Amino acid sequence: MKAAPAPAPGRVKVEIRGLAMTFGGDGRDVRVLEDIDLDVGDGELVCVLGPSGCGKSTLLNIVGGFLAPTAGAVRIDGEEVRGPDPRRIFVFQERGVFPWLTVEGNIGFGLSKLPPGQRAERIAHYVRLVGLTGFERAYPQELSGGMKQRVEVARALAVNPDVLYLDEPFGALDSITRLVMRAELLRIWEAEKKTILFVTHDIEESVQLADRVVVLSARPGRVQRIVTIDLPHPRDLSSRRYLELRDSIFEEIGLAHKI
Amino acid sequence: MTDTSPSLLPTAAPIRRGARSVGRILLGFSGVAALALAWDLAIRFGGRTLLPSPAQVAAAIFELTRQGFLVRHVVASLFRVTWGFLLAVLLGVPLGIWLGWNRRARAAAAPLLELLRPISPLAWIPIAILWLGVGDASAIFIIFLGALFPITLAAMNAVAKVPEIYFNAGRNFGLTRTDLVRRVIYPATVPQLLVGLRLALGIAWLVVVAAEMIAVNSGLGFLIIDARNAGNRYDLVVAGMVLIGTIGLALDAAIRRLERSRAVRWGFAAPASPAPRRPRLAPAR
Amino acid sequence: MTASPPPQRSQATGSRAVTHRAEVILLPALAGLFFLGAWQAAVSWSGTDVFPGPLAVFRGLRELAQKGLLVGYVRDSLFRVGAGYALALAVGIPLGAFLGWNAAAAVAANPVIQLLRPISPLAWIPVAIVLFGVGNAATIFLIFLASLFPVLVATMNGVRNISATHLAAGRNFGLSAIALFLRVIFPGALPNVLTGLRIALGVAWLVVVAAEMIAVNSGLGYLVIDARNAGKRYDLVVAAMLLIGVIGLLLNVLMLRVERLRALRWGFRTE
């Protein structure tokens, strides 16, 4: 049973219809995604949640234009997605940062078409925004995992994209840093008001961040349920409503929440 | 955490597995065939009458086989390589292990090794002849020298890279020093050692050919020089080169086989598991 | 006594750093002195009048310097290496990049490369002489051949092993194919390429010496052979070997220095 895919009021930014993905080869076809319908509103933060292997990263890659789906289509602002586009930047885990460029170099990567003065200004703004002042000339190998992730987010934001895709961006970080980074992400999101599509396997993370959580089933991935998180930011992680929402998702996925 | 990031290399369209290996073999042959063709054309139109065409080289190889020289020369070269290589292994592996283990010894010996390493084994030829006279012993000595450094350095680096955790685990289980070497260090270093051995064998093969040009009366290197000196038989010269290339390739492949055996495969990074199957790629904008 | 673990990989700090540094200088120095002493002793004790001891070698070096030959020979060898090496880079890097990128071409080219690679450059000498005659051109050709393969293979590997994530990021930012190559692929492959360059330089040096033994009239390799042939001057032979070793060592250190440049260090694990 599908929940309505419609978002909160506001216009629809990303429209996914009838998406399906089958990986084939050697006669063994694997259906990874099936029948995905989803709308993401402008300025919304939507989490795609599911267990490993459910196809959520594949979904994100398709929406980002890096893979062509077997069926269905993705439209952004009414325009069909045909390939990767600088208007919609994908944030990988920390290994997306270019190791041969400094922090400045990375953040300015997409800005080569700007006149130098403007470029420098833009870079400085985003260095400040992600809290990396003082590290402009550092190379990624001198930075911690959390800092590298910030560089990648800054790099993505610097080109002023319409949409940001984040593929488990905090997966490689320790749990304390993860909490910090989530707060950072929300702060940036509120400052920049981007549309964000965020993939994670972490239930808590999804409830802490998202306006809506799209729960994908195990392979083949289908939209199992869409949970609207009606908590205002900043979210109290001990509030009853938070725990209710979290537990409902636990149950949805079929996990007991006692060890 | 599986890497499901997309592969964007603009490779040929994905092919089914069965078709893939046939395709690969054909492509492989086509490369060699293209080379042979270019060679042939170059000879025909190049105007240099001394260098042989592929056909002449093939004929020369056939002639050598028929006369029984082929086997003799190949065996002579292989014999020298084997001896030189084995001696280098016998000395180099223990030496390398010791140096890898013992930091002080390594600090003491490293600069000396780094100084000796760039000296081409062939620069040792006069010394070799002085000490061992002209003949097999000199050639083997040269090969031994050529293989010694890569093997020692490989063993040294392999041991130095063994993670300390392995040592700790071994000691935790109460292993004596000998046991530690036998059951922890040695197995942990074998993959890297094999790579070093493969490289050293390649060097040994390079060196034997060169050593034979100078100091002995048989072998593929000798064949090359002799064929030229004794009558400008360039077809034999190139035949010799082709044989050298083929045997070198075979030796290399043999050790690579070893590297793939299950016992040591763990030591080599698995080929990157891509998005396991390649779906249709979205075209670049 | 329990086994001692291998040396710490972590950087020594404080007083340990001092001992560490003292060791790194003192131990090899001691080892070197010991080696020289043993060498001299062996020579004296065996009573040979042909094989030189360290002092004789040193005197031989001085003789070469005084005759003005030293600089000339070193320069000639370095020139040949430089020329052959530069050619190998000019051909090997673009070709390697192409083969690394285009898998089909790589499959076609691979057997050819594997076949040609084990052929000692010295086996090419007769061919080189036919093509270029005796002299500099032939030696440069040999060095070119010898250096080509490490550069080619390393570049191929470097390009082929580019992280898919980096490529995806590059395309995400809308880079054209050329921009992608210049701004993502080449920098990403650079560590591998540099390693190949270092190995190739080492091979080039090995080969120039060997090539000079056979095809020309100057240079350190020539000196090694000529000193013996023209009068059993083994002191000069060993002097030449020593020079070969020292210059080879310096070249290698130079390349390692390049690898440590801050802009490139990311690709190499510094210990």
The nearest alpha carbon in chain A to B284 belongs to A83
The CA distance from A25 to the nearest CA of chain B, in Å, is 6
**For the residues B149-171, what does the mean pLDDT come to?**
84
CB neighbourhood size of A258 (10 A): 4
Q: In this structure, are strands A195-200 and A30-41 parallel, antiparallel, or unpaired?
A: unpaired
Q: Where are the domains of chain A?
A: 1-87+164-259, 95-160
Task: State the CATH number of the domain containing residue C129.
Answer: 1.10.3720.10
pLDDT digits (tens, 9 = 90+) for C199-219: 899 889 988 888 887 778 888
Q: Roughly what angle, to the nearest 10 degrees, separates helices C14-46 and C54-66? A: 90
Give chain C's domain count.
1
Task: Give φ, ψ of A164 to 5 degrees.
Answer: -115, 135
Q: How confident is the model at residue C40 (pLDDT cuts 50, 70, 90)?
A: confident
Query: What is the secondary structure of A20-72 as a DSSP string?
Result: EEEE--TT--EEEEEEEEEEEETT-EEEEE--TTSSHHHHHHHHTTSB--SEE
The CA distance from A68 to the nearest CA of chain C, in Å, is 14
Q: How confident is the model at residue B273 (pLDDT cuts 50, 70, 90)?
A: very low
The nearest alpha carbon in chain C to B124 belongs to C241
Range A113-122 contact pairs with CB under 8 angstroms and sequence separation of 24 or more: A122/A158
In terms of pLDDT, which residue wins out, C235 or C3? C235
CB contact under 8 A, B209 and C244: no
Q: Roughly what angle, to the nearest 10 degrees, separates helices B234-260 and C103-116? A: 120
Which amino acid, A5?
P
Q: Do the domain assignments include residue C213?
A: yes
Task: Give φ, ψ of B68 to 5 degrees.
Answer: 80, 0
Q: Residue B140's pLDDT is what?
A: 92
pLDDT digits (tens, 9 = 90+) for C141-189: 999 999 999 999 999 989 988 888 999 999 999 899 889 999 999 999 9
CB contact under 8 A, A84 and B285: yes
Q: CB under 8 Å to C82, separation ≥6 — which residues?
A: none
Q: Residue A8's pLDDT is what?
A: 52
Q: Residue B6's pLDDT is what?
A: 38
Residue A26 has pLDDT above 70, yes or no: no
CB contact under 8 A, C244 and B120: yes
CB contact under 8 A, A100 and C265: no
Cα(C194)–Cα(C89) distance, integer angstroms = 11
The CA distance from B190 to the nearest CA of chain C, in Å, is 17
Q: In this structure, are strands A12-23 and A212-216 parallel, antiparallel, or unpaired?
A: unpaired
| Chain C interface test: which of A98, A104, A137, A163 (most C C-beta within 10 Å) | A98
The CA distance from A11 to the nearest CA of chain C, in Å, is 25
> Is some CB atom of chain C closer than 8 A to the CB atom of B203?
no
Nearest CB neighbour to B6, from listed A53, A61, A172:
A61
Q: Are B118 and C251 in contact (CB under 8 A)?
A: yes
Q: Do the domain assignments include residue C197?
A: yes
Q: Do the domain assignments include residue C29?
A: no
Residue B167 has pLDDT above 80, yes or no: no
What ipTM does the predicted assembly reach?
0.77
| Chain A interface test: which of B4, B278, B281 (most A C-beta within 10 Å) | B4
Residue B5 has pLDDT above 60, yes or no: no
Q: Which residues of B touch C126 (CB under 8 A)?
A: 224-225, 228, 234, 237
**For the residues B8-20, what does the mean pLDDT come to?**
42
Mean pLDDT of chain B: 78
Residue A144 has pLDDT above 60, yes or no: yes
Q: Do the domain assignments include residue C35?
A: no
Sort residue C151 into left (φ over 0), alpha (ψ -120 to 50) or beta.
alpha
CB contact residues (below 8 A), chain C span 124-143, against chain B: 124-127, 130-131
In terms of pLDDT, which residue wins out, A132 or B178? A132
Q: How confident is the model at residue B11 (pLDDT cuts 50, 70, 90)?
A: very low
Q: Residue C14's pLDDT is what?
A: 53
Residue A4 has pLDDT above 70, yes or no: no
Q: Do the domain assignments include residue C5?
A: no
For chain A, report the end-to-end CA distance as a whole number of angstroms.
Answer: 30
Q: Which residues of C touch B124 (CB under 8 A)?
A: 241
Q: If you count residue pairs, one on A and one on C, with CB atoms under 8 Å apart, how many are there?
A: 55
Cα(C9)–Cα(A144) distance, integer angstroms = 20
Owning domain of residue C196: 54-267
The whole model's pTM is what? 0.78
pLDDT digits (tens, 9 = 90+) for B74-119: 898 999 999 999 999 999 999 998 888 888 888 888 888 888 888 8
Q: Residue B28's pLDDT is what?
A: 75
Query: Which tokens sit at A240?
Result: 């009853």
Which amino acid, A149?
Q
Q: What is A1-87+164-259's CATH number?
A: 3.40.50.300
Residue C3 has pLDDT above 50, yes or no: no
Residue B16 has pLDDT above 90, yes or no: no
Q: Are C79 and C208 in contact (CB under 8 A)?
A: no
Cα(A155)–Cα(B193) distance, integer angstroms = 42
Q: Residue B177's pLDDT is what?
A: 80
Which domains occur in chain B, in start order? 55-265 (1.10.3720.10)
Nearest CB neighbour to A57, from listed B4, B278, B281:
B4
Q: Do the domain assignments include residue C26?
A: no
